[in-house]
Amino acid sequence: MVSTIRENRSRFYKVKCPDCENEQTVFEKASTVVRCVVCGRDLATPTGGKASLKADIVQELQ
Protein backbone atom coordinates (compact mmCIF):
# COMPACT_ATOMS: atom_id res chain seq x y z
CA MET A 1 0.00 0.00 0.00
CA VAL A 2 1.31 3.42 -0.94
CA SER A 3 1.68 5.90 1.87
CA THR A 4 -0.35 9.07 1.38
CA ILE A 5 1.94 11.15 3.56
CA ARG A 6 4.93 12.54 1.67
CA GLU A 7 7.88 14.20 3.25
CA ASN A 8 8.94 17.57 1.96
CA ARG A 9 12.21 16.96 0.12
CA SER A 10 13.10 20.61 -0.41
CA ARG A 11 14.57 22.94 2.17
CA PHE A 12 14.98 26.60 2.93
CA TYR A 13 18.34 27.91 4.10
CA LYS A 14 19.25 31.01 6.03
CA VAL A 15 22.40 32.30 4.32
CA LYS A 16 24.84 35.10 5.09
CA CYS A 17 26.09 37.40 2.34
CA PRO A 18 29.90 37.30 2.17
CA ASP A 19 30.12 41.03 1.39
CA CYS A 20 27.74 42.78 3.79
CA GLU A 21 26.92 39.87 6.19
CA ASN A 22 23.16 40.35 5.73
CA GLU A 23 21.19 37.18 6.57
CA GLN A 24 18.47 36.15 4.16
CA THR A 25 16.28 33.09 3.48
CA VAL A 26 16.85 31.18 0.22
CA PHE A 27 14.95 28.22 -1.28
CA GLU A 28 17.13 25.20 -2.06
CA LYS A 29 15.69 24.83 -5.57
CA ALA A 30 15.52 28.51 -6.56
CA SER A 31 14.51 28.95 -10.21
CA THR A 32 15.70 32.56 -10.48
CA VAL A 33 18.83 34.39 -9.38
CA VAL A 34 18.58 35.37 -5.71
CA ARG A 35 20.36 38.63 -4.87
CA CYS A 36 21.19 40.20 -1.54
CA VAL A 37 18.61 42.88 -0.72
CA VAL A 38 21.28 45.13 0.83
CA CYS A 39 24.26 45.06 -1.55
CA GLY A 40 22.90 43.22 -4.63
CA ARG A 41 25.44 40.37 -4.73
CA ASP A 42 24.24 37.06 -6.22
CA LEU A 43 23.57 34.58 -3.40
CA ALA A 44 22.10 31.72 -5.45
CA THR A 45 21.89 30.90 -9.15
CA PRO A 46 19.64 28.26 -10.73
CA THR A 47 21.23 25.14 -12.24
CA GLY A 48 18.16 23.20 -13.36
CA GLY A 49 17.74 21.38 -10.05
CA LYS A 50 19.21 22.57 -6.80
CA ALA A 51 20.47 26.12 -6.89
CA SER A 52 24.17 26.87 -6.64
CA LEU A 53 24.60 28.74 -3.35
CA LYS A 54 27.36 31.36 -3.31
CA ALA A 55 26.83 32.39 0.31
CA ASP A 56 27.57 30.83 3.69
CA ILE A 57 24.77 28.64 5.06
CA VAL A 58 23.95 29.74 8.60
CA GLN A 59 20.97 27.48 9.32
CA GLU A 60 18.73 24.92 7.65
CA LEU A 61 15.09 25.87 8.22
CA GLN A 62 12.30 23.32 8.60
Which stretches does DSSP call E strand in 1-62?
A: 12-16, 23-27, 34-35, 42-45, 52-53, 56-61
Positive or negative torsion for Cα 18, 19, 20, 24: negative
CA 20 to CA 24: how far, in whole Å? 11
Chain segment 35-45, per-residue pLDDT in tens: 999 999 999 99
| Spatial contact of 3 and 10, defined as CB atoms under 8 Å apart | no
CA 14 to CA 23: how far, in whole Å? 6
Structural domains of the chain, ranges and CATH numbers in brackets: 12-61 (2.20.25.100)
Average pLDDT of the residues in 13-33: 95
pTM for this predicted structure = 0.79
Average pLDDT of the residues in 49-57: 94
